[in-house]
Structure 1
């Protein structure tokens, strides 16, 4: 495998291990291109797709599909221009995914109400990046991103990925102890607070940590007793 392919593969592996622990699921093919729906405006014939994950929303009867652009950068290549270009490209991908029959056929389940959002995942593969990643986002004008109305684009930088990976590692450690602190995954779910005037519509179905949860300062994993008791943790 060429070195560049190996480096790119690192982000894919990290994302796969990370998001599976937060109960995201992959859907459809990975690492493929699909036709652009607005070639004149986007100035490309196709868009790339690294991977699409999905989860069910807790507060609405929606399934969210997360169209990901996975970047694996060394310390010296995490630059404002590269991050801006990636975000602008991802915004175009989301705009086309929202209207593409090809993308829908490959990645969307039948008979579901859904939304599509974008995730720019910037992994630092050499572990040496210590600068303020947020400064790379200052040159991005949200008003100029070609996103559909109401669409969302999230960015996870090296610090956020490192923090989330620590959570993943700790959950697995607690579950793997001789006397486990956590039961198996099927008895666990991520906590979504009951909001005023907003019912938790899919409390049993929506087990995954949403993007809003993953980008919040606190992530709570709750679990029920595998023996069928009333105790919850």
Structure 2
């Protein structure tokens, strides 16, 4: 039983380490149950491993994320287990949206709120190498989610990717290549029909944005917080690497990033031997599609920087000794 508790704690530890850098805060008690308010659920309570909250970039709302944190070995990451976990979280989310008990413990704001769910699946033996998306599709073929519920599932590889973003942020900040966190946040473009409601220099990485293929971390100079000093772009390991670079360049230009910043660094935690060559090729071809003066600016402005991959790993006995 004690070992099981320590293994379960691994997901809690890594989730806290990751979300600290993403602008999320913990609201209310951790590892507590709240009252079930749906008779059809046939239970008295639902679990709340942890509830995170952040301000929505494009809404005047605070989003609350009800999390189910799972720490599974390779052999436990199966469609049936995933299906059960999603169904249980769906029920918990339905009750959280109606429960006075949940609202009293976890809503610490007078602002309008959203409540969403996140199933966080950490692979505690670092052995899972299957296609998680295929497993997810199989697990959710016949699943029914209650109306109004929004659930995101974060799998093992995505967790490792997010941990690498956080590790690199800490590395850069330690080298003084990144300002203190009060001058940093994630980039969201101004859009014609969507206004940014909060300080653009301190925006969080939303649960929806986590599902994207690249993530842009912006930073400002301490004396010029209204001006973007630079952008750090993190890209996932995807197929069609060359085309993804071209898509990124188009995105940066569309939202005037290349015209308004001093530096763009691109980091790919799961890079390949071909990554740098594909970057250079994509940039060279992209330069040929823009006017000559703008093309001259691109090469010194955008750089690909290799980073060493980090693999989160914990030991059950070591975790058990932490509180002694």
* Fold conserved between structures, TM > 0.5: yes
Give 1:1-233 correspondences, 5 Å limit: 2-39=2-39, 41-137=40-136, 138-141=138-141, 144-145=144-145, 147-149=146-148, 151-177=149-175, 180-204=176-200, 207-228=203-224, 230=227, 232-233=229-230
Instruction: Check conservation: 2:183, 2:202, Cα contact below 8 A.
Output: no
| CA displacement at 1:181 relative to structure 2 | 1.1
| CA displacement at 1:204 relative to structure 2 | 4.0
TM-score of the two chains, using structure 2 as the length reference: 0.67
Q: Deviations over 1:43-76 (max 9, x none)?
A: 2111001000000001110110000000000001
> 3-state SS of the aligned residue for 2:168?
helix
| Whole-angstrom CA distance in 1 between matches of 2:35 and 2:118 | 20
| Whole-angstrom CA distance in 2 between matches of 1:46 and 1:206 | 36
| CA displacement at 1:96 relative to structure 2 | 0.4
| Whole-angstrom CA distance in 2 between matches of 1:127 and 1:141 | 27
| CA displacement at 1:227 relative to structure 2 | 3.1
The answer to which of 190-199 and 168-177 deviates more is 190-199
| Whole-angstrom CA distance in 2 between matches of 1:29 and 1:83 | 25
Gap change, CA 1:97 and 1:228, over 3 Å in 2: same
Instruction: Check conservation: 2:201, 2:220, Cα contact below 8 A.
Output: no
How many corresponding residue pairs?
Answer: 228
> 3-state SS of the aligned residue for 1:82?
helix
| CA displacement at 1:202 relative to structure 2 | 2.0
| CA displacement at 1:203 relative to structure 2 | 3.6
Instruction: Check conservation: 1:84, 1:136, Cα contact below 8 A.
Output: no
Show structure 2 runs of 5+ residues with no match.
231-324
Which protein is bigger by CA-based radius of gyration? 2
| CA displacement at 1:205 relative to structure 2 | 7.9
With a CA cutoff of 8 Å and minimum separation of 6, indicate the structure with the bigger relative contact order.
1
Q: Which has the higher helix share?
A: 2
Q: Cα RMSD (Å) of the superposition?
A: 1.7
| CA displacement at 1:136 relative to structure 2 | 2.5
TM-score of the two chains, using structure 1 as the length reference: 0.93
